[in-house]
Structure 1
């Protein structure tokens, strides 16, 4: 894999994105209500053409967008990422009718998407999900005459953008006892009868909720991909988005590092500037080292995805793991070097300290990423024997 570096157009685009995030997106983010979808912010992302790029660009561009937006406005970054996560299965596996109905609205910011995989008892172990898709007659009238019909019964939990999304990519068990091989992905509009949701009071500022499915009708026209092959839809989506979660983390780490450079260069302490203390200078150097290492791994994984490399699952897991753990470390050290001021409500680092924790859990916790890496390593060894 060649070393990654930005070319001049990419560097200019990242600078433009940071400026847009600071000047046009952050003011809208500040007007949003925590725990709720900020539709004005999503609409502005659409107006700027960034949401459309979710479907026309590769993994590297997705990472560039997420890192650049995260640096200046984490709320805008998250809003963009959640649109992509919820709608990518439709883009990659949807029928022409599904794509025509939803993707233009996602791209212009008028429809909110959500990715509904996790359940109360099946978070990290996604293959153990229990939401049932029970075959049977449906009262829902399909445009076509036929195919299988199901009723979805069960719960989803920890779903970003729930319960305020306009549609959900839902993963349900169509074959009991079949593990990952018995899951089907469905596109479920939010207005389907029997689908209800409640918001959860979480640390993150974006909405996260639980969904209840009470015999929600779905038909063959709602299937994304193939029946009983929905786990592939989920994992394919996560392989694309895990490196970009790492890019989100790198953007936060870089913002924390830059704030620390400014603070330690200007802060008077012990007869000089903080930066003149060797312990402080070495700590800042360590923060920079880890941030750059994480950045390189993120873009190596994204490049591998765009090139169709065989080891994408391993690289994606490595990128997410290293970058999210690194961002936690860098932000924590930045808080320590700033002192009590960093814990004051409204301070950049107080905001980042709250934002940086969740990425180590969602889209596969750090422990899950280590499991994926080990599995892929041993599979490669066995294949070589």
Structure 2
């Protein structure tokens, strides 16, 4: 299948998802409390079978899901994406016991996952992580906990067998779904001074002794918080993948999800474009409608051009991932960069063409204007994506 082509069944599925998002997910999203996990929304995603598809579908299907949901309900899109980001390392690198314990509850929407990579001093430079995984049991660990869902019970803090092999000490920051997630994929330094080669990924349930969290007041409808690790015990049973090879876990996860961040952005851009087409076709101005003004028509054409170009690059990157192409990091970086920058442009242009009404609280474009900014930062800021692209290009040159 060419990278730029969608099968009729895929197109129909996208339309079905947009309808479901508008009819069943948006009403739940509107009832949610900003800054908190919307568990009824997560549960409804589970009833629709969407989280389970995160573990059975490829990158292209993930992009289709995220674009379609984003078009009609950004909150539902983000809730699904965060489940995937936090749980994918368990699916791809976890032990049978880890997968059996957590993935069914993620799939049915009863457990909330989170991906804990960023730190106060290591956001874009993920290899500079300083959260320490110190070998050997500590003398003590204070027993403050982050409260998980009540249905999970209080037994998770002791679910790893044997004495602690490491104690996690340090801080994570800007973590989506923190401090309300039920478990975290946590990246910690097991070998000091080894850069990316000394990081290990751990599955850490939220009620481990010594783990506490604080909500951050962010421009975001979902929770974002910091996590404090005070000698949190972890064992070999909690390792995801291999010791000192956790950076591979992080990068493989990001290579899958970066194109789909672009799909999220494309969904928002398309929603803004469609709203602009409708508005400019009906709005009377200067003896006609806005669409009759050449400057407006050309602006709308530019918005459509950029949106479609971003969509094609996203689909191409996702298809490359599914086919195991060697240049996935470059394609994924290009897709995220182009799509998120495009969405920012399109939404801003849509606000300009709508005028003051678009800035009224509750307007679709007011909502999109707030939502569209963050994707240019998380999962690798635009500047980082440019660095990845350049590195990959020069690497190819050196290999000749």
| Aligned CA distance change for structure 1 residues 138 and 72 (closer, same or farther; 3 Å) | closer
| Aligned CA distance change for structure 1 residues 138 and 151 (closer, same or farther; 3 Å) | farther
| Aligned CA distance change for structure 1 residues 341 and 140 (closer, same or farther; 3 Å) | closer
TM-score by length of 2: 0.93
| Aligned CA distance change for structure 1 residues 143 and 337 (closer, same or farther; 3 Å) | closer
1:303-325 Cα offsets, whole Å, 9 max, x none, are: 00000000000000000000000
> Aligned partners of 1:302, 1:312: CA distance in 2, in Å?
8
**2:119 is equivalent to residue 103 of structure 1:** no
| Aligned CA distance change for structure 1 residues 87 and 140 (closer, same or farther; 3 Å) | closer
| Aligned CA distance change for structure 1 residues 217 and 31 (closer, same or farther; 3 Å) | same
Shift of 1:138: 19
> Aligned partners of 2:217, 2:210: CA distance in 1, in Å?
23
1:4-52 Cα offsets, whole Å, 9 max, x none, are: 1221111111110000000000000000000000000000000000110
**2:256 is equivalent to residue 240 of structure 1:** yes
Match of 2:39 in 1: 39
Q: Is the 8 A contact 1:138 1:150 kept in 2?
A: no
| Aligned CA distance change for structure 1 residues 284 and 141 (closer, same or farther; 3 Å) | closer
1:33-89 Cα offsets, whole Å, 9 max, x none, are: 000000000000000001100000000000000000000000000000000000000
| Aligned CA distance change for structure 1 residues 349 and 135 (closer, same or farther; 3 Å) | same
Q: Is the 8 A contact 1:246 1:319 kept in 2?
A: yes
Q: Secondary structure at the match of 1:293?
A: helix
> Aligned partners of 2:154, 2:220: CA distance in 1, in Å?
38
| Aligned CA distance change for structure 1 residues 210 and 280 (closer, same or farther; 3 Å) | same
Q: Is the 8 A contact 1:42 1:80 kept in 2?
A: yes
Q: Is the 8 A contact 1:112 1:166 kept in 2?
A: yes
Match of 1:126 in 2: 126
Q: Is the 8 A contact 1:142 1:221 kept in 2?
A: no
Aligned residues: 383
1:126-179 Cα offsets, whole Å, 9 max, x none, are: 000100000019999987876970000000000000000000000000000000
1:186-222 Cα offsets, whole Å, 9 max, x none, are: 0000000000001111111111000000000000000
Q: Is the 8 A contact 1:18 1:72 kept in 2?
A: yes
> Aligned partners of 2:199, 2:386: CA distance in 1, in Å?
24
Shift of 1:2: 3.1
Q: Is the 8 A contact 2:157 2:205 kept in 1?
A: no
| Aligned CA distance change for structure 1 residues 145 and 103 (closer, same or farther; 3 Å) | closer
Comparing 325-334 and 135-144, the one that deviates more? 135-144
Q: Is the 8 A contact 1:193 1:216 kept in 2?
A: yes
Which stretches in structure 1 are left out of the alignment for 5+ residues?
A: none
Q: Is the 8 A contact 2:60 2:318 kept in 1?
A: yes
Which stretches in structure 2 are left out of the alignment for 5+ residues?
A: 137-152
> Aligned partners of 1:93, 1:147: CA distance in 2, in Å?
23
1:311-355 Cα offsets, whole Å, 9 max, x none, are: 000000000000000000000000000000000000000000000
> Aligned partners of 1:145, 1:207: CA distance in 2, in Å?
31
1:94-115 Cα offsets, whole Å, 9 max, x none, are: 0000000000000000000000
1:263-285 Cα offsets, whole Å, 9 max, x none, are: 00000001100000000000000
RMSD of aligned Cα (Å): 2.2
> Aligned partners of 1:88, 1:2: CA distance in 2, in Å?
27
Q: Secondary structure at the match of 2:212?
A: strand
Q: Is the 8 A contact 2:168 2:229 kept in 1?
A: yes
> Aligned partners of 2:164, 2:283: CA distance in 1, in Å?
67
TM-score by length of 1: 0.97
1:234-276 Cα offsets, whole Å, 9 max, x none, are: 0000000000000000000000000000000000001100000
Q: Is the 8 A contact 1:185 1:225 kept in 2?
A: yes
> Aligned partners of 2:375, 2:16: CA distance in 1, in Å?
25
Q: Secondary structure at the match of 2:90?
A: helix
> Aligned partners of 2:161, 2:280: CA distance in 1, in Å?
69
> Aligned partners of 1:142, 1:331: CA distance in 2, in Å?
48
Q: Is the 8 A contact 1:122 1:128 kept in 2?
A: yes
